[in-house]
Structure 1
Amino acid sequence: MPGHGAPLDELVVPDGTEAQERDLVTDGDVLLGTRSSVEFGVRGRNVVASEGVRFGGAIEADGDCRLDMWSDVAESVLVGGDAYLGERVHIGGELMVAGDLDIGDDVDIEEGFEANGWIVIRNPMPTIVFLFVYLKHLLVVGDEDAAQRLIDELIDEDTADEPEAEPLVVPANGTVSDDAWRVSTPARIGDDCRLHGNIRAESIDVGSDTELYGSLRARGDIHIDRNTIVHGDVTTRDGSITLAEGVRVLGDISCGELELGSDTVVDGVMRAAGQITMQNDPRPEAD
């Protein structure tokens, strides 16, 4: 799924992401906005959390891990590269760092820490705060290209030779749990994902061959791509719903206008205030 929109301005779940029993697992990087909450543990390449982010499990980062001030991790943090912790970060388990550790004032690590590289203790550690404040400024003034370059430098410092993967992004104040994914922004779910929880967003775009165990609800439009299965209702307050060929919805549908692809199955009741249209022929596959 191609990227669009400003960085951190939408919920982005990249292709192949899985919500496993206790962990949210992705092949790429993880970016978490201010005061967001993830009730799972997180496993990814680089993990970058802004101020006041809360993790309900452990963090496993193959590359670097950067936690801004007041972030809270319920369990251990394992880092394959370098770790950067802002002031008053709390870690409920141990911190194991294969590279260097840069740590701020009044950090609480309940089961101790170990780093194979240099250990630097600061009071305070301003690096993460500066980066996110600068990023926010770039977005406010509309310089999205510069903002994207900053994110690329932040999360791809040591991965120039690795294949590029879209990061998992949770916007500011977003909540991700086994019960619900709640954001006040648009949401994009990639191809071949497997997620648990009801999704609540401004608008929702779901990729192909994905399985969602929960309902979808949006203020705006909802689009679901080929051969995706939704185990729940799909509803929108003000928008339209588009279901591509082979989609299956195990629940009710409610919307303004509804477009159904060929071989689409809806096991519940369909309610549309406007027009209902059906595609008789499948859309051609993209080259």
Structure 2
Amino acid sequence: MAFRRDLLDELVVPDGTEAKEVALETDGDVLVGARSTVEFGVRGRNVLAGESVEFGGDIEAEADCRLDMWCDVADNVLVGQDAYIGERVHIGGEMKVAGDLDIGDDVEIDEGFEANGWIVIRNPMPTIVFLFVYLKQLLLIGEEDAAQRLVSQLVDDDEDENEDAEPVPDPLIVPRNATVSDDAWRVSTPATIGDDCRLHGNIRAESIDVGEDCNIFGSLRAREDVTVGEGTRIHGDLTTRSGDVVVEPGARILGDVSCSDLELGPGAEVDGSIRADGEITMGTTERDLE
């Protein structure tokens, strides 16, 4: 997994992520920065959340779940392996853990909990805080290989390091102080959306890079550049404050486009009006050149 110098300085939606009515579903891990609000439930492999994160639905983790202090989960928490719950966490439903449960003080679980393994009542180390402080120190001293190994180990403790092992999917990363809902995805960082994603809600970010063959049911608005991948459909307007827009071949914007420079690839379509302060470049196909 490639990562920036701060693991939570970008919204990253991996390939194949789907926002359904009640949950965000991804094949990999889910990492949520402190003080963020996710109005969906989440379903992933490992689920890790920083302090004071709010979830509007269930959490379903195939492997481990780690919630730091003051998190709030509206419904159930279902964990396939071990759970680490910080102090003053509130869970509005029930909690079921297939493995061990490490739980802090003053945790409220409205409908009770059960664990098949050991239950330890203490204040677990805030794993998100530990992860990012240690990771930053490794990067500051130039130990990028060690930092990469640390991330791989923490997001998948059971990963087989054999060369024949299946590749681990990239995680879904929600940066600090973000809001993710059916209405809007609001972050103050860049946003990168992978291929074959299906998302609902307007996306607001510093810059936006959307992969191929996605369906985004909402508008895109950024302060800087926006790229829309080949074959993607944006069901809304596309606006940048001071950036350029690239719409790759076969992509379609079902709304207006407002930007500085605009580049349209072969077969790209804009259904609404175009307002560009700079140049508009239109690609051509081989048929157009004949």
| Alpha-carbon separation, structure 2, partners of 1:106 and 1:139 | 35
Partner residue, 2:124: 125
Corresponding position: 1:209 with 2:208 = no
**Residue pair 2:31, 2:172 contacting (<8 A) in 1 also:** yes
Q: Is 1:184 matched up with 2:188?
A: yes
- List alignment gaps of at least 5 residues for structure 1: 283-287
| Conserved? CA contact 1:245–1:260, under 8 Å | yes
Q: Does 1:11 align with 2:11?
A: yes
Structure 2 unaligned regions, length at least 5: none
Matches of 1:173 and 1:140, distance apart in 2: 24
Aligned length: 280
Whether 1:70 and 2:70 are equivalent positions in the alignment is yes
Corresponding residue number in structure 2 for 1:92: 92
Counterpart of 1:253 in structure 2: which amino acid? Answer: V
Pairs within 5 Å for 1:212-223 = 212-223=216-227
- Please report how far the alpha carbon of residue 130 of structure 1 lies from its aligned counterpart in structure 2 after TM superposition: 2.9
Match of 2:233 in 1: 229
Q: 1:139 to 1:57 in 2, by over 3 A?
A: farther
For residues 49 and 138 of structure 2, the distance between their equivalents in structure 1, rounded to whole angstroms, comes to 18
Match of 2:280 in 1: 276
| CA shift in 2, pair 1:34/1:139, >3 Å | farther
Q: Aligned AA for 1:78?
A: L
Contact 1:43 1:59 in 2 (8 A): yes
Work out whether 1:37 is the aligned partner of 2:41.
Answer: no
Change (3 A) 1:162 1:78: farther
- Taking structure 1 as the reference length, the TM-score comes to 0.93
Cα–Cα, structure 1 residues 41 and 274, in superposed 2: closer, same or farther, change >3 Å? Answer: same
1:250-279 CA distances to partner (integer Å, 9 max, x unpaired)? 100000000001111111000100000011
**1:138 and 1:38, CA in 2 relative to 1: closer, same or farther beyond 3 A?**
farther
- How far does the alpha carbon of each residue in 1:162-197 deviate from its partner, in whole angstroms, 9 at most, with x for none? 431100000011110000001111000010000000
1:3 CA drift (Å): 3.9
Cα pair distance change 1:126/1:13, threshold 3 Å: same
Q: CA deviation at 1:36?
A: 1.1
The percentage of counterpart residues that share the same residue type is 67
Contact in 1 for aligned 2:69/2:126 (Cα 8 Å): no
Native 8 Å contact 2:229 2:247 kept in 1? yes
What do the CA deviations read for 1:17-41 (whole angstroms, capped 9, x no partner)? Answer: 0000110000100001111111000
Quick check: 1:105–1:125 contact (8 Å CA) kept in 2?
no
User: d(CA) in 2 for partners of 1:191 and 1:109?
Assistant: 37
Within a 5 Å distance, the mapping from 1:139-178 to structure 2 comes to 145-160=145-160, 161-178=165-182
